[in-house]
Amino acid sequence: MLLGSNLFQPPKGFLGFALVECGAARSTGCASRLIEDERCRVQALQQCDHERFCLPPWAHLRVLENAIVKAVEAGAEGLTSSGSCARLASGRGQECLRLLTSYAQQHLQDGEWRRILRLAIVKGDEGPICAILQVCPKLLLQSRSAGMGWFGDSKATRKAKSLRQDLRGKHFIVTGANTGLGYVTARELAKMGAKVTLACRSAERGQQAIDKMKAEALEKPVKEGVDLLDGLTEVDVRLEVLDLGSLQSVVAFAQRFKASGTKVDVLVNNAGIFGVPNRRETADGLEMQIGVNHFGGHLLTRLMEPSMNDGGRVLFLSSLAHSRPPGMPKTTWDWDNVNFDKPKTYDRLSAYCRSKLANIWDAKEFAKRLAARSINTYAVQPGLVKTEIHRGIGGGKLMMPIVNAGYVALGWVWLKGPLDGALTTVRCAVDPSLAGPELSGKYWGNMKEETPSELALDPANPPRLWEVTESVLEEKLGKRVDDVVP
C-alpha cells in the first residue's frame, strides 16, 4: 500500500498532501473510487477510507470534498510526462517543487513519487504548485512544536492580562479597526480606559464594530483579553471614516483632527490589504497593496504629526512576509518599479511582501525624524493570523476552492487567533518599558524584539524609501507633504 496511516501524518502538509494523495490514489488502483472519465465525483471523499488518506479527524468533509475534487481535476489537466515536471516547476514553483520532492522522497520510491508528482503539478497563472504551497510550503512540512514565528507562540494569550494598565486620559487611533487585528487591538485598549478612534473605510461596518465592542467589554466574565478597567461602565470609542486607498481621504482625516484640536498619543497603522489577484490601482493610480499598506499609512503618519503628543508612539503593522516565507525566494526591491508599472512584473505576493518591507523601513526612518519629540516607532509582525485580510489569497478558478479550504483547515491547528496576533501590537502601544529611544524603529513579533530580514536591516534603504515616497506623494497631491495640512 502506497500511503499507510504512518505517512504524511496531519497536520504536516495536510492540504498539500491531500492533493498529492489524490494523485497517489489514482496511480495505485483507487481511481475507480475517485475518478470516472477523468472527473471526480462530488461524493468521492465520503466513499474513501479516511485512515488511508490520512485526513485529520477535525476536517470538515464538505469543504474537503470540493477541494479534493478540484485538486484531482487540476491534476488531470496538468498531467504530463515525468521529463516535463521539472520544467513546469519554474520560478516560485521550482522552490516549492524542491521542498515537496525532498520530503516525499524520504517516504516514497522514485517511481511512486514521479506518478504522484504528475498529478500534483498544476498549470495555471498561479504557478505549478497550488497557491497554499506557494505561500508556505516548508511550514506545512514542519511540526507545530518547532515554534516557528509564522504560527507564533500558543502561550501568548496567557500574557494578555499582564499588559493591563490604566490608560484613561490617553487617545489612540487604530486604522482598519472594524475587523480582525485592528478590532481586537482597539477593543483591548478601550477596555483599559483609553479613548480609541476607530479609523475605518466603511462607516456602516465601523459602527457595527463599535456596537459589538461595547457589548463585549461589558461581558462578565470576558470571553477573551483583559477585563474592563475597574470603575468603568463602558468603553470610550468613536468612529472616523478613513480610506487609505484615497490620499484625499487621508488628508481630510488629518484636517478634521487638526481643526478639532484633538491630541493623539498613539497611532496604530494597522489597516492593510493582501493578495489582490490582478494589478489594481488606488484612486490615485498607485498599485493597490503598496498604495494602501505603505503610501496611505506614510501620509497619515506625516499629517498626524502635529496632532500627536510628545512622547507618543507610532506603530506600523508589518509581516513575516516581508522576507517571504521560509523556503521561498527572498523578497527583492526594484527601485525603478516600486509601483509595479512595468508590464508583466506584477505578482500579488511580491507586491504584498514589498509593502510589508516598506513598513519596516518606514518605522526606522520615522524613528530618526521623530526622535526630537521622543515619539517612538515600532514595526510589528503579528504572525499568521485567522483574519479577513487573507480573503484575497484566492487563486485561479481551479485553485480558489483548494486554497480557501486549505486556509480554513490550517486555521484549526496552525494559525493564531486575532487576540494572539494583536498582543504584540498592544504591548508596543502601551508597555512603559518600551519607551526608551534605543527601542524606537525596532521590529517586534511574539511580544518581543525580533530580527527582520537582511534586506530590511540595510541602513541605506529607509532614507531612500523616504525620498521616493515623499516624491510620489508630492506628485499625486500637487504639493509637498509638509504643505498639505497648513
Q: Which residues are catalytic?
A: 352
Residue 11, Cβ neighbours under 10 Å: how many?
A: 16
**How long a stretch of residues is the chain?**
486
- Which residues have CB under 8 Å from 361's CB, separation 6+? 456, 461, 462, 465, 466
SS3 readout for the chain: CCCCCCCCCCCCCHHHHHHHHHHHHHHCCCHHHHEECCEECCCHHHHCCCCCCCCCCCCCHHHHHHHHHHHHHHHHHCCCCHHHHHHHCCCHHHHHHHHHHHHHCCCCCHHHHHHHHHHHCCCCCCCCCCHHHHHCCCHHHCCHHHCCCCCCCCCHHHHHHHHCCCCCCCEEEEECCCCHHHHHHHHHHHHCCCEEEEEECCHHHHHHHHHHHHHHHCCCCCCCCCCCCCCCCCCEEEEEECCCCCHHHHHHHHHHHHHHCCCEEEEEECCCCCCCCCCCECCCCCEHHHHHHHHHHHHHHHHHHHHEEEEEEEEEECCHHHHCCCCCCCCCCCCCCCCCCCCCCCCHHHHHHHHHHHHHHHHHHHHHHCHHHCCEEEEEECCCECCHHHHHCCCCCCHHHHHHHHHHHHHHHCCECHHHHHHHHHHHHHCHHHCCHHHCCEEEECCEEECCCHHHHCCCHHHHHHHHHHHHHHHHHCCCHHHCCC
